[in-house]
Every structure is written in C-alpha cells, then in structure tokens.
Structure 1
Amino acid sequence: MTEWGTYCRRTPEVGVRLTHINYAFGNVTGGKCAAGDNYAATERTYTAAESVDGVADTWDQPLRGTFNQLRELKKKHPGLKVLWSFGGWTWSAGFGEAAKNPAAFAQSCYDLVENSKWADVFDGIDIDWEYPNACGATCDTSGRAAFTNLMQALRAKFGASNLVTAAITADATAGGKIDAADYAGAAQYVDWYNPMTYDFFGAWATTGPTAPHSPLNSYPGIPQAGYYSSATIAKLKGLGIPAAKLLLGIGFYGRGWTGVTQAAPGGTATGPAAGTYEAGFEDYKVLKTKCPATGTVGGTAYAKCGNNWWSYDTPATIATKMTYKNQQGLGGTFFWELSGDTAGGELIKAIN
C-alpha cells in the first residue's frame, strides 16, 4: 500500500486475504533511512468513516495517521505482517551513499522502523533499490557487491526475528540489471525477493509498439527478448536462488497508449492514453468497465477501445499465472498495489 494513497485512494478491506503489507515508501537520504511523509504516517486525523475500527481519531492520542490504521488492521487480523519499504523509483538515488557505510545505514533503518511509538506496527523492512549498480530514475555505480553488503548489514541489525525482504529488477536480458548486482549472494540474507515482473513495456515508448506490461511468457513480436515474467524467474532460479525465496509480481493496473488503430499487440501509437492519476496508467477497477479485455497474449490480457490500447491482468490471467507460480514452487505472490483492485477485491481473490 502507498503512503500517498491516504489522500486520494480508497483501499478495499481485504485484510483477511492478505498475509503481508509493504508500506511504501520511506526515503533514503544522507546515508540513512528517513520517513517519507510524516503527516500521512503519524499525524493525519482519521474520521470514524475512514478508520479501520470505525472510531474517529482524537487530537491527543499518541499515534494517528496511517501507522495507527495499520495497528488497528493488525488487531482485526492478528496474523497480518507489515513491512516498511524504503526507496522505490523516486527515492532510490540515496542508496549509493547508504552503501558506503552499510552498518550505519542499517542502524538508522532499525532506529526508525523500531521507534517505540510504532514498533508494534512493523514486522521488518523491505528494500526497493531501483537499481543496484545500474540505472533507474538515476544511475548507480556502487559496484556489484554493494547490494549484498547492504542486505547483510540489515539482516545483522534486524536479526532473525524480523523480516528482511527486497523488491528487485525483473530484467532477464544478458548483461542486464539482474546481472549488474549479486542477487544470488544476497539471497542468504533475505526472507524473500519480490521481482517486479510488471512494467516491462509501456507508453514511455510513445509511438509503440503496443505490448503487454506484464507478460508471463514470450510471444511472437515481443519488443524485447527477456522481458517477461517466466524469463525473470528462470534467470533468478538459474543463479541458485531458491524458488521458495521468489515471489511472482502482479500489477493491479494497466498501461496504455492512444492513437492506436491495430487491435492486436505490436501496433503504433501517438502517445500515452489518458489516466486518472498519470498518463499511460490506470487502475484495474477503472479499466475493467472502461476498456474491457478483448484478447490475451503471453499469458496476460489486452484491450482495445476506441483508439486506446491497454494491457492488464484479469482474474482469468491471474489464474494462469498462479498455475505457473505453483508449478515453479515459488514462495508466493505480491502485487502493486492494493487500491487498484475492485471494492470486492476480485484480483486478490483470484490470487488467493
């Protein structure tokens, strides 16, 4: 779940089906873990209607905000675990500095996550470094061993009783982002990895070709070899990472283009399709009715409506992916992100 979602997104109440929530994102700055939006996390006053337990926050309670709502959610669902995720696309630039002194970084993260005001809320830490020794929004040159050293320090500090996980690249190309860091060497320090097997293709390629953002398998005409989920899993397993430490990533959203005339994938476009929050991106709950799926390719769905072309997973394509996940012996499934689902939680039910 996203920190900024408190301002504009309603999350379906599907806690009974969840085992873990990653709270995204904390910042990485000055070589340390830092809070992202303090007001959202600890200060925003929830009304009775907004709150998990139906009780309004008071001005003088010691903890308000999303952290308190997570606390209430854990009371309702005692088995639920919550991890604080740090980094993400926007806030990964600070990891290079953090990697220069992993022990100091780990100490800062521990002090923040285990702060006495909310220590009961979190069960561990998730690192979303995009990308070690490679380029995301910025480029990192900290070296192949930096990620392993960072995860080793976090495990040493957080200990065996806390969860330590990481979201990692899904780039299975030869010499690509998986090859840039020692993910196999770091695997011993994590409970599991979340390979981000989505966003392979999108309208950042403004003129196309149109392609599904989260294909399970390759298909004739795929724009980039190695950009599909089963290639990611095969590559990571091939490095010796145990299948049980790999989760399959699912997107609860679609990516789309406009100016498209061809219904099948591989068509040309004029730019990103309009979206509620950003161009080229829309929640599944909107696309389901606004632009219903018209076909499948590579184990995921696509849709052509007017001159717009979207790709996204449906309950049916998620079922296909879950069969694959089970056949591969993977540790489970994760998704980005909860508020993209319908009010009834049909995508999470398809996973469940």
Structure 2
Amino acid sequence: MKHIDKILKKTGIIKASPGDTLSSTLGKLTSSHDAAFVFDNDKKFVGIINPYYTLIKTSAYDGSTKVEHALFHPPHISTKDPLSRIVKLMNESKIHYLPVFDDNKRFIGITSARRILAFMKDLEISKIKIARMSHTQKGTVITVKLNDPISKALKLFKEYKTSKIVVIDTNGRLKGILSHYDLIPYLMAPGKNTQRGGRGDKPRFKETPVKNYVKTTVLTLSEQDLVSDAIDQVLTKEIGSIILVNHESHPIGIVTTRDMLDLLREDSKRKQVRVTTKHLSKRHTVTFNDFVQYITWYVQNNETIAEAAIIYEGEKSDMLCKLHVHLSPYKGKPLVISREGKDFSKILQEVKDVVRRG
C-alpha cells in the first residue's frame, strides 16, 4: 500500500507471552475482534490470541490454558499489499488487528480497522449515502424482544452466525443491542449464581430474559446519512456498529465496521435475491419474512452462489401454497427447490433444511 504509514501502528500494541494464561490475556481485550500479539523470548512474533477463535469458535480452552496452546496464526500483511486486500483479509479472518511485515518478513507493527476507517473518511467512497451501500441485515433485521429468553438469542446467534442482535419492544421499537461476546462469561464460567452478573447454571441462565443483558446505549443513524457520518460515530464513540432506524424508531438494518471496510473491497457487490409473492396472507407475513431473511443471509455468505429467487404462490382460500427457491451458482445449472402443500410453516422449514444441507 502506498500510504501504509497512515494505517500502521508501532506502539501501544497489546502483547502476550507463550507462557501467559488465556484468562490474563483475554482480560486485556474488549471485543471479539480484538487481538493480543504473542512474542517468544527472542521477540519473534508467533501468533495472536483472539476471542473469536479461542472462545466463540471453539470451547476447547479454559482460562488456565497457556497462550502457546491456543495460538491463532492470522494473515500477514505486507507493506506492499493494496488496501483492498488488507480489508479482505481482515473481514474474512474476523480480526480487526493484523500484523504487518516488511520485505524481509520482519514484524514492524500492526494495522487496525479503526486506523483504516480514519484513513477512509477522507476518501470519496465515504461520501455516499448509507442507503447505497450493502450492510448487515439490510431490510431483514434479526431481532429479539426484551422478555425473550436468552436461549432464543443464542439460537439466532448460531443460526445466522452473527455477533449482534437488535433488541426491540413489543411495538417493534429499538431498545438496544445484544452482543454474543458479552454473554461468553455466563456461558463458560462454573457456579450456581443465576442473578444478573452471576455465572454458571446454564439451563437457568438460558431462560433469563434478554433485558438483563441488553446494552441500551447504541448509536443510530438513518439510511439518508452518509457513510462518513457512520465512520465518525464509530471512531468517536468507540462502538463497532450503528443501528439504522426509520422515522418511527424501528430498526431497519445495522452498519458494522465490517460493512464499511467492505466498501474498499474490489469484490464488494451485494448479490441479488429476488422475491415474488402471490396471495400471501397477513398471518403468514412474519414467518415468510424470517424465511426470506435466512435465504438472503445464506446467499450472501455462500461463495459459489451468484444470485437467488424466491417465488411464493398461495390460493385466496389460504388452503394450498407453493414455494420455489432458485439458487443460481456462478458456474453450472441452478438448484431449484420446490414444495407444495397445506402446511405453510412445514413447507418453509423443509426448503430451509434443504438449503442448510447445501
């Protein structure tokens, strides 16, 4: 990158040694995207410790595990790498801090998502409206209500492979955000205290209400605001995501750090999912929208699929319905999944199961 010095950090790097414990190292981090950089006795870089890879993706480690047994080897950034490749590696690895090496493969510092955002703020791409960019959960926001059990949120975290879920009230208005990272201590630690802030007793913990763990301090913008406005909020408030709301304070999407970085990628075009409905009854609308949300998520995260189409045909009597899902790959023939019957929910679930199996 021509201006690598503008996104390079050489001091203030969170460091750890191979003999440190996982608990002491993770205690230095504040989000699932953070990283502690590990160096041996010869000051040679050997890897990183990252919450996503040591806590979320696996449950094989506990707090007493030595860092050397839980190392993750991240992508290496070269001073000559273009910005598009740097953000691609950052987003694909789910780590917002990556090591940078010179031409002799010597560690010279790190780059971070925040530094890239600060650099990006002066670029022309940040002057577009948020409505023009692809962003997380656009038009299909994953939500839970304040009194829903944590078990429901955990199921959504797993099913949609997301790290944040929007929390709403019974009227659909924004109340806060729930982070998977914030729930990890309660999922991992032993004990019998089930009060807010207590640890362990997982069955009872999973039935406690979402409102006990929701963060009510959130950043909000509208789709008519600029990307640069979102960058400013993330940098000044030190929160990694912004909830988009309409004029009634209903959430309509989330803009994350990853979404903004994706604008710098050469392959950042959002795939199209066309939806056509005929005689869709009002009582089935919510369930159908959830189905569309899942198919959309699947298409956006599947590298082999170029686009998709969802076609629903119902009878006015609401006695029979037909559902067709077309998944078109970049190469080869499209996969067409069709179901017909009287049980609306059963048909949607059957198609969903076929898609999930790939």
Judging by fraction of residues, say which structure has more strand: 2
Which of the two has higher C-alpha Rg? Answer: 2
TM-score (norm 2): 0.29
Which gives a bigger RCO, structure 1 or 2 (Cα 8 Å, sep 6+)? 1
